[in-house]
Amino acid sequence: MASVTLENVSRMYGAITAVDNVNLKIKSGEFVTLLGASGCGKTTTLRMVAGLEKNTGGRISIGDNVVSDSDKGYFVPSERRRLGMVFQSYAIWPHMTVFDNVAYPLRIRRRPDTEVRDRVMNALRLVEMEQYAERPSPALSGGQQQRVAIARALVFEPEVLLLDEPLSNLDARLRTQMGDDFRALQQRLKITALYVTHDQAEAMALSDRVVVMHGGKILQVGAPEEIYRRPENRQVAAFFGTPNLLNATVKDCRPNGGQYYKLSVEGQGWSGDCHAATEMPKGADVTVMVRPENLHVRDAGQVNGDLSWSGEVSQAIFRGSHRSIMVKTPAQTLHVEASSLSNVDIGRPVTVAAPVEAAWAVRN
Amino acid sequence: MTIIHNRPLDDIAETAPTLAGNAFTRAFSGGSLWRLIGMLVLILILGFLTIYPLAMLLYGSLHSTPPGMAGEFNLNGYRSIMTTQNLIVLANTIGISLAKTIPSLTIAVFLAWIVARTDTPFRGTLEVLITLPFFIPPILTAMAWGMLANPQVGVINMVWRWATGATDPLVNIYSYGGVIWHMCQYSIPFLFLFMVDAFRAMDPSLEESSRMCGASRWTTFRKITLLLMLPVLTSSFMLSFIKGIETFESALFFGLPAGIKVITTDIYESINHRATPDYQYATSLSFAIMGLMFLLVIWQWWMLRGKSFQTVTGKGFRPSVMELGPWRWVTFAFCVLFFFITVVLPIGQLMLGSFFRFFGFYTYDMLTLEHYRNVFANSEFWRAVRNTMVLGLLGATATMALGAIVAYISVRTRWRGRNLIDSMAWLPWMMPGMVLGVGFLWAFAMLPGPIPIYGTIWALLLAYIALGTPVSVRVMTGAYHQLSYDLEECSRVHGATWAQTMWRIMVALAWPAFAVGWVLTFFGIMRELSASILLYSVGSETLAVVLMKLWANGNAEQVSVIGLMMMLLVIVFRWVQLSFIKARISKL
């Protein structure tokens, strides 16, 4: 297995910059996800690693080998990069059987027939498709095609596995299951994987690290929990779920003993404590992020959290697994995810509270 | 498994040439040199096939003498075509083409609707029968109808006189009506083929939702179905109109004897039927008609701009079928009648003609096999069969290969110059066979001595390739568009080189389209008369040319024999093609 290194990688289309100075190091055996809305440059980045696009700036290395260096005009074509790739459409060749599809990378490399047979069957066994080997490939369902595509990508033990939204064409239930299966397989084989998706839940469940991209640039790189709980800026914060983002002013700032700082902030009609990654001067404008699932609704006047707002319930929607409650406060309407068992009357005055660990401040 | 040798960076620094950002050096790095050479060769080939004859046409129209003779440049050619007589020729050409397009389109729409959207019995078989006339060379039906509807001895008129006692003939094929009638027989199946899939592929939910909104069946047809079909109808109309202007056979057989001239026959006459061929007149007229075609094509583009033909969503739905009740036998009878008139009647006439001693005298004691003996003993016939077969096989293969390459480069690559070769390959679309024939006549005559193409079958081969290229490019473009890029890229990422990917993925997936296009081109070559008649010489006649010569000599009986052979060939080929396609579909 090999690492992947991107140094100052850019891709221009005429005057448009699709990928802008991306630096990223993927360790051997690591599962890294490129996450972002469509048009953020994540797929272009993946295709540059695959050698399907030429980077117009910077250098890409796989393991110790440089595969593309735009300054030196050096470029290794796709077929010599020893990669496995799963395409969004799966790209299962319709004129071949399942076996032929998976055998393709080996036959191209002129492996002996016995070896081809063994390895293809092994790969198909990995994805639990061995009984379908002789099926013509158009006769497969979406989930089966996806498994075949993974088997094909793994069959010749590539240095790196690239995946371009491989789960997006599956239905929701199958998506979760295939995702979990795939993550288990990746950890068992210890294969380096670079994965592209626009689905945040998928990115968090699968990856060792998530790379959030926007407008061709990397916004933040980190473990899923890190990015979810401690985003570096408002854009990343807003990307996951529907957090409450409140404007506030810093009143006081001190180290909390760990790696973070504890802030006292004041907003319109509320005040309290929260955490931040960096030291902030007094009077600085910040955005405080509080996730709906970390907010609690209490009876009016009952304060036992580090942060609290008072207001009245304006809307309550039963969603099965939880209940979405909208609380109108002087600052703004807060979105709270409460237990579906809780019963809230519309118009009732309440207090909304959150612990200090649940509130995270970023500079505006 | 160490197949690749990615070099570490220090290694590159020593060996890799430093590349400046200019296109020239980039083009010469790595595999690009071969790409550049390949593109140049392709441009040369296409240039020779399209630009060169076009340039020679222009040269000929401005030069006072035939190629190879001393002469001067002048505008006499263009002056000589500016006559009131030619204004009538132009009016005839456009009028006849319009007059055949409108009824053809109406009938073709009706037939397409019957086959695609009603519960008429045996629709599958009817579809095959209706499209058959498209594959029959027009020269055969022209000759058959020349015998069937001859005012004096045609079977139709003989039966009419016998049945009614009238002395005047019922129909006279040598008239405007005859020319139009013959053109329709070819146009209807052509338009049907062009439209039927659009009718079939239309998403029925579009119509159903109109019904749900309270519109009646008729209102739905008017406001939804017809308007959705409008782009297809418009382009069908334009295509048929343009083809009508290019048509040669109908006007040659039925127009000229009646003194009705169109542009193509006028060009033909000025070269073949005058005491001294007036080449400057012919080339000037050819160039003028190209100008007309160019305007028409521009008009077609303008009319269709921004209109999408996509009513297909790719989802597997069944089109809703209208239940006609007892009327379904009426629609069935209509289709059968069409088949009877366009296929059974001409074939019957050819059989009749081939077994009787003299055409027009059908009595028992006149029965003979003499014509078959004569034809089979005729070495010229066998030579023509061989020529046609060689030209068909080579021509179709070469045309499709060229089309496949051009389409690939223009659809699947971002190479410099891809638009150039695409336009060059499209140029013959504007050139009627007759015009391209004149252009090549000049082009071959101007070639330096050591390249003796003129007078050989290679002259015909080149003209056929040029004429067939626009269609072959279109067929292959459609095929490539349906193949997702992923299929190709996936192969590259998994270790296959460009050449391996081409062979194992693209060729393997595109060959059904290639085969369909091949058969189309083959039929096209077998049918071709207008360029052949200008470019053939003794020894390089095709079957169509031999037929033409026999017909001119009044040998209708032997024409019938050869015509029957060709019909047989067409039906066999069509049957093989259809069963082959069916086998493909059921396999998938």
**pLDDT at position B313:** 38
Q: Which residues of B touch A (CB under 8 A)?
A: 1, 3-9, 12-13, 16-19, 26, 29-30, 484, 486-487, 489-497, 500, 504-505, 508-509, 588
The CA–CA distances, whole Å, from A146 to A182, A363, B240, B264 equal 11, 42, 46, 58
- Cβ neighbors of B565 (< 8 A, separation 6 or more) are none
Residues of B in contact with A66 (CB under 8 A): 6-9, 12
Q: Specify the pLDDT at position A115.
A: 93
Selecting from B7, B29, B493 the residue whose C-beta is nearest the C-beta of A50 gives B493
The per-residue pLDDT for range A296-306, each reduced to its tens digit, is 888 887 766 67
- Residue B545 tokens, joined: 């040319």
Q: What is the pLDDT of residue B358?
A: 73
Q: Is the pLDDT of residue B512 over 70?
A: yes
Of A66, A87, A95, the CB nearest to B508: A95
pLDDT for A246: 92
For residues B252 and A208, give the distance between their C-alpha atoms in angstroms, rounded to a whole number. 78
Structure tokens of A108? 């191209």
Residue B50 has pLDDT above 70, yes or no: yes
Which tokens belong to B25?
């050096």
Judging by beta carbons within 10 Å of its beta carbon (0-12, 13-18, 19+), is residue B470 exposed, middle or buried? buried
For residues B367 and A15, give the distance between their C-alpha atoms in angstroms, rounded to a whole number. 81
Alpha carbon distance B232, B275 (integer Å) = 47
Residue-wise DSSP of A319-331: -SSEEEEEEE-SS
Give the residue on A whose Cα is nearest the Cα of B512. Answer: A95
Q: Across the strands, what pairs with A60? A: A6, A68
**What's chain A's length in residues?**
364
- CB contact A163 to B (< 8 Å): no
Task: Report the CATH fold assignment for A242-363.
Answer: OB fold (Dihydrolipoamide Acetyltransferase, E2P) (2.40.50)
pLDDT digits (tens, 9 = 90+) for A92-109: 888 888 999 999 988 888
pLDDT at B290: 86
Cβ of residue A77 closer than 8 Å to a chain B Cβ: yes
Report, as an integer, the average pLDDT of A288-314.
85
Kindly tell me if the per-residue pLDDT of A222 is higher than 90: yes
For B16, the 3-state DSSP assignment is coil
Cβ-Cβ contacts under 8 Å, B32 against chain A? none
Enumerate residues 6+ apart whose C-beta is below 8 A from A96.
A104, A137
Cα–Cα distance measured from residue B542 to residue B381, given in angstroms and rounded to the nearest whole number:
9
pLDDT (0 to 100) of residue B16: 36
CA A293, CA B393: separation in Å to the nearest integer? 73
Distances from the Cα of A227 to the Cα of A204, B371, B571, angstroms: 9, 91, 70
Residue A29 has a pLDDT of 92
* Candidate CATH numbers 1.20.120.1200, 1.10.3720.10, 3.40.50.620, 2.130.10.10; the one for domain B34-74+369-588: 1.10.3720.10
In 3D space, the residue among B330, B353, B349 whose CA is nearest the CA of residue B136 turns out to be: B349
pLDDT in tens, B68-103: 676 777 777 788 878 888 888 899 999 999 999 999
Every domain range in chain A assigned CATH 3.40.50.300: 4-234
Give residue limits of the domains in chain B. 34-74+369-588, 81-312+323-339
Distance (Å, rounded) from C-alpha B41 to C-alpha B61?
Answer: 29
Contact A8, A21 (CB under 8 A): yes
From the centroid of its chain, how far is CA B107? 20
Which residues neighbour B514 within 8 Å (Cβ) at sequence distance 6 or greater?
B400, B404, B475, B476, B479
pLDDT of residue B25: 38
DSSP string of B102-123? HHHHHHHHHHHHHHHHB--TTH
Contact B408, B414 (CB under 8 A): no
B/e letters for B78-88, b = 16+ CB within 10 Å, e = fewer, are beebeeeebee
Quick one: pLDDT at residue B94?
Answer: 92
Return the minimum-mean-pLDDT range out of A164-178, A277-291, B222-236: B222-236
Q: Choosing among A66, A102, A164, which should be mutated to test the B contact, i.e. which has the most B CBs within 10 A?
A: A66
Residue A335 parent element (H or E): strand A333-339
Considering only CB atoms, B487 lies closest to which of A69, A78, A91, namely: A91
CB of B238 closer than 8 Å to CB of B303: yes
Q: How many Å apart are CA B573 and CA B522, to the nearest integer?
A: 10
Distance in angstroms (rounded) separating the CA atoms of residues B291 and B285: 10
Alpha carbons B488 and A199: distance in angstroms, whole number: 26
List the single residue in B with minimal CA-CA distance to A100: B504
Contact flag A50-B4 (C-beta cutoff 8 Å): no
Give B360's pLDDT tier (boundaries 50, 70, 90).
low
Contacts of B490 in chain A (CB under 8 A): 85, 87, 91, 93
Mutation to test the B interface, candidates A93, A120, A145, A194, most B Cβ within 10 Å:
A93
Q: Is A12 on the interface with B (CB under 8 A)?
A: no
- Confidence tier at A27 by pLDDT (50, 70, 90): very high
Which residue of chain B is at minimal alpha-carbon distance from A149? B490
- Our CA-based measurement puts residue B248 at a distance from the nearest CA of chain A, in whole angstroms, of 43
Residue A118 has pLDDT above 90, yes or no: yes
Residue B520 corresponds to which tokens in the numbers above?
């189309």
Q: What is the pLDDT of residue B229?
A: 81
pLDDT value of position B531: 87
Closest listed residue to residue A62, CA positions, set B57, B483, B4, B536? B4
Lowest-pLDDT range, B63-72, B115-124, B178-187? B63-72
Would you say B421 and B35 are in contact if contact means Cβ atoms under 8 Å apart? no
CB contact under 8 A, A80 and B6: yes
pLDDT at residue B367, as a whole number: 76
* Chain centroid to CA A43: 13
The secondary element (H helix, E strand) that includes residue B92 is: helix B84-117
**Angle, to 10 degrees, between the axis of helix B226-246 and the axis of helix B84-117?**
140
From CA B184, how far away is CA B169, in angstroms rounded? 22
Q: Residue B31's pLDDT is what?
A: 58
Kindly give the residue spans of alpha helices, DSSP state H, lying in chain A. 42-50, 98-108, 113-126, 142-154, 172-189, 200-206, 224-229, 234-239
The more confidently predicted of residues B15 and B86 is B86
pLDDT at B136: 87
Measured in whole angstroms, the distance separating CA A217 from the mean position of its chain's CA atoms is 15
pLDDT mean across residues, chain B: 81
pLDDT confidence tier of residue B492, bands split at 50, 70 and 90? confident
A83 pLDDT exceeds 80?
A: yes
Q: Taking 60 as the threshold, does the pLDDT of residue B316 lie above it?
A: no
User: Stretch A153-163: mean pLDDT, rounded?
Assistant: 89
- How far, CA to CA in Å, does B350 sit from each of A233, A347, B144, B252, B345? 86, 93, 6, 19, 9
The one-letter amino acid at B324? L
CATH of B81-312+323-339, one of 3.20.170.30, 3.30.420.10, 1.10.3720.10, 3.90.550.10: 1.10.3720.10
Q: Which one-letter amino acid corresponds to residue B446?
A: M
Separation between Cα atoms, residue B141 and residue B149, nearest integer Å: 11
Sign of the Cα torsion A270, A273, A274, A277 reads positive
Q: What is the pLDDT of residue B583?
A: 56
Name the token pair of B88. Answer: 């009538």
pLDDT band at A259 (very low <50, low <70, confident <90, very high): confident
The one-letter amino acid code at B472 reads: S
B581 pLDDT band, cuts 50/70/90, is low
Q: Measuring CA to CA, how many Å separate B505 from each of A100, B484, B499?
A: 12, 11, 10
Residues in chain B: 588
Percentage of residues in chain B having pLDDT higher than 70: 86
- Interface check A81 vs B, CB under 8 A: yes
pLDDT band at B19 (very low <50, low <70, confident <90, very high): very low
CB contact under 8 A, B493 and A84: yes
Whether residues B487 and A81 touch (CB distance < 8 A) is answered with no
Q: Please check the confidence at residue B15 and state whether its pLDDT lies above 50.
A: no
Cα-flanking dihedrals φ and ψ of residue A84, to 5°? -115, 145
* Span B205-225, average pLDDT: 71
Judged by CB atoms closer than 8 Å, whether chains meet at B495 and A109 is answered as: yes
Cβ within 8 Å, pair B6-A81: yes
Nearest CA distance, A202 vs chain B (angstrom): 23
Mean of pLDDT values over B322-336? 86
Interface of A with B in 17-76 (CB under 8 A): 50-52, 61-62, 64-67, 69, 72-76
pLDDT for res B12 = 36
Residues forming CATH 2.40.50.100 domain(s) in chain A: 242-363
Overall average pLDDT of the B116-128 stretch: 86
The helix/strand/coil state of B531 is coil
Contacts of A290 (CB under 8 A, 6+ apart): A243, A244, A246, A307, A334, A354, A358, A359, A360
pLDDT band at B304 (very low <50, low <70, confident <90, very high): low
Does residue A218 have a pLDDT over 90?
Answer: yes
**Fold observed for domain A4-234:** Rossmann fold (3.40.50)
- Does the pLDDT value for residue B6 go beyond 50? no
Residue B3 binned pLDDT confidence (cut-offs 50, 70, 90): very low
Q: Are B576 and B414 in contact (CB under 8 A)?
A: no
Condensed to tens digits (0 to 9), the pLDDT of residues B255-282 reads 888 888 898 898 888 888 777 778 888 8
pLDDT band for A60, please (50, 70, 90 cuts): very high
Best mutation target, A43, A59, A79, A165, to test chain B (most B CBs within 10 A): A79
Give the integer Cα–Cα distance in Å for A271 and A354: 12
**pLDDT at residue A339, as a whole number:** 87
